[in-house]
Amino acid sequence: METLSALSLTSKPLTRLSVMSFDPNAPHFIFSELSTRFPDLEALHIVVLMAEVTAPMLLDWGEYLAGFRRLKYITFMAALGGEEDGGEREEIDERRIAKVWHSSCPTLKTIILPQGKVWFEGSKTDDENEDGDWKCLNWDED
């Protein structure tokens, strides 16, 4: 936290920030700490290497994004948690998470989540996206 506090003392507000954490507890506090200290960020990239996250955790963090006034681009990368009994990795509905995050932070335009897909806000004028929903750049599909 000391490093984040020191960064928040800059003469001009930060507009871009990349954070890499080895703290396994980081997912439980990183969003609230960053939104409190850096509300003027436009781009935020977070990589947490020693922790696992789940879909409910990602959905819950949407509330902290409301603290960002100008955030357009966010990347959050961490290992996805598996089943309690050691089963397969959890599949998450990233489109739903993008919608929740955008509802908390309407300035968001691009979101990258742990599955590595690039989500962007579709336009209501797109032929295939009449409702202005979130779209995914998925290079695996033709």
Question: What tens digit of pLDDT does each residue of 20-65 get?
Answer: 999 999 999 999 999 999 999 999 999 999 999 999 999 999 999 9
**pLDDT confidence of residue 118:** 94
* 8 A C-beta contact, residue 132 and residue 102: no
d(CA 43, CA 138): 22
CA angle centred on 72, ends 135 and 119, rounded to 5°: 20
Residue 40 is assigned to a structural domain of this protein: yes
Residue 7 is assigned to a structural domain of this protein: no
One-character DSSP codes across 25-92:
TGGGTHHHHHHHH-TT-SEEEEEEEEEEE-HHHHHHTHHHHTT-SS--EEEEEEEEPB-TTS-SBPP-
d(CA 85, CA 13): 45
Q: Is the pLDDT of residue 108 over 60?
A: yes
d(CA 89, CA 131): 31
* Span 60-104, pLDDT tens digits: 999 999 999 999 999 999 999 865 555 566 678 999 999 999 999
Residue 3 is assigned to a structural domain of this protein: no
Residue 4 is assigned to a structural domain of this protein: no
**In total, how many domains does the chain have?**
1
Q: Is the pLDDT of residue 14 over 80?
A: yes
Residue 9 is assigned to a structural domain of this protein: no
**pLDDT confidence of residue 129:** 46
Domain holding 53: CATH number?
Answer: 3.40.50
Higher pLDDT, 126 or 70: 70
Residue 129 is assigned to a structural domain of this protein: yes
Q: Tell me which residue of 71, 62, 60 sits closest to 110, measured CA to CA.
A: 71
Q: Tell me which residue of 99, 20, 14, 25 sits closest to 55, measured CA to CA.
A: 99
Q: Is the pLDDT of residue 131 over 90?
A: no
Lowest mean pLDDT among 14-18, 20-24, 123-127: 123-127
Domain of 95, in residue numbers: 14-82+90-137
